[in-house]
Amino acid sequence: MAKTQLNVRVDEDTARAARERALARGMSVNRYIEELVKQDTGEVGHTFVEAAADFMKQYESVFAEEFGTDREGTREGRR
C-alpha cells in the first residue's frame, strides 16, 4: 500500500507520550500512530479475525486430534 505523509502538531507531553508508548511496544512513532488510527476505525478487529482464522487453519489438525472433528463444538460422545 502506498504511504502518505501527514504532519501533525501536538503538545510536547503528547509527543513524549507517543514516543514512550511506541518505544515500549518496539515500534516507530509512525507505526504506533498508524495502529491507533486503524484501531479507531475498526481495522484492527478485522486483522485480528483474519489472524485467528489463519491460526485455526494452521492448527486445525491439532484441534481435531484433541477435541474431535465435530464442527458444532461438542466433543464426540458429549452430546
The rounded distance, in Å, linking the Cα atoms of 68 and 60 is 10
- What's the whole-model pTM score? 0.52
pLDDT beyond 80 at 71: no
What gap in Å lies between CA 73 and CA 61, rounded to an integer?
15
pLDDT of 6 strictly over 60: yes
The 3-state secondary structure of the chain, one letter per residue: CCCCCCCCCCCHHHHHHHHHHHHHCCCCHHHHHHHHHHHHCCHHHHHHHHHHHHHHHHCHHHHHHHHCCCCCCCCCCCC
pLDDT at res. 79: 47
